[in-house]
Chain A
């Protein structure tokens, strides 16, 4: 079983839709939870992160962590075609100083 599970998609939505991206994880030691976006032929770029349980909002993006159920979510409001990319959740393994990436969800926002 992988430490971080993520539905690979693709997820196709119309422009303006609310998008929900999710991950589950198994390691209770994870404390920081990152979300990265990766465009084709590019490296991942950090969108936002949360520490422990709770919500964090940044513009159209909201990250949510529920440590009791080991569930991580990213919500995108008013989705745009430019949001079309692969979204990777990445809890942090502080012991190994490593990001533990999920397999990524490919999102397509149709104009």
Chain B
């Protein structure tokens, strides 16, 4: 399978709830990163996973957590949702952690917290 797919495409949650977003990477891509993109802003780095271990993290609180699975899928979990968590969440995968290989982004999950 080619490309990066994310599900769901849209989601509405209530403040205080928990949410799980899913990503299916390209076959063979052992590195996955998650980004948060607020409206009108560039994506902000949340964290990166390499071979199922977190190996880099941005300035996001611990209520943002992730998992990467051996089948090239991954999850982003957010607990205790806040209104400011409303954004487009992007998953990006790569053959390795080397940036020269290029990161392939999915189309994202748009999360709205009300």
A-to-B contact residues, CB < 8 Å? 4, 6, 8, 32, 34, 41-46, 49, 88, 90, 92-93, 96-104
Q: Give every chain A residue within 8 A of B41 (Cβ-Cβ).
A: 103-104
Once bound together, how far apart are the Cα atoms of A41 and B105, in whole Å?
12
Q: Give every chain B residue within 8 A of A4 (Cβ-Cβ).
A: 42
Once bound together, how far apart are the Cα atoms of A98 and B42, in whole Å?
13
Which residue of the partner chain, among B44, B99, B105, B106, contacts A49 with CB atoms under 8 Å? Answer: B99
Q: Give every chain B residue within 8 A of A88 (Cβ-Cβ).
A: 42-43
Once bound together, how far apart are the Cα atoms of A92 and B90, in whole Å?
17
Once bound together, how far apart are the Cα atoms of A43 and B57, in whole Å?
20
Q: Are B42 and A43 closer than 8 Å at their CB atoms?
A: no
Q: Give every chain B residue within 8 A of A98 (Cβ-Cβ).
A: 33, 45, 48, 56, 58
Once bound together, how far apart are the Cα atoms of A44 and B43, in whole Å?
9
B-to-A contact residues, CB < 8 Å? 4, 33, 35, 40-45, 48, 55-58, 90, 92, 97, 99-100, 102-103, 105-108
The verdict on A97 contacting B56 (CB below 8 Å), with A43-B105, A46-B103, A92-B99 known, is yes
Question: Whole-angstrom distance from the CB of B92 to the nearest CB of chain A?
Answer: 7
Question: Whole-angstrom distance from the CB of A36 to the nearest CB of chain B?
Answer: 8
Which residue of the partner chain, among A44, A49, A97, A104, contacts B100 with CB atoms under 8 Å? Answer: A49
Once bound together, how far apart are the Cα atoms of A41 and B108, in whole Å?
8
Residue of B nearest to A86 (CB): B42
Q: Give every chain A residue within 8 A of B48 (Cβ-Cβ).
A: 97-98
Q: Give every chain B residue within 8 A of A101 (Cβ-Cβ).
A: 35, 42-44
Q: Are A104 and B42 closer than 8 Å at their CB atoms?
A: yes
Most buried by A among B4, B42, B56, B106: B42
Q: Are B103 and A42 closer than 8 Å at their CB atoms?
A: no
Q: Give every chain A residue within 8 A of B44 (Cβ-Cβ).
A: 101
A-B contact pairs, 22 of them (CB 8 A): A4-B42, A32-B100, A43-B4, A43-B90, A43-B107, A88-B42, A92-B99, A96-B57, A97-B48, A98-B33, A98-B56, A98-B58, A99-B35, A99-B43, A99-B99, A99-B103, A100-B45, A101-B35, A101-B44, A103-B40, A104-B41, A104-B42
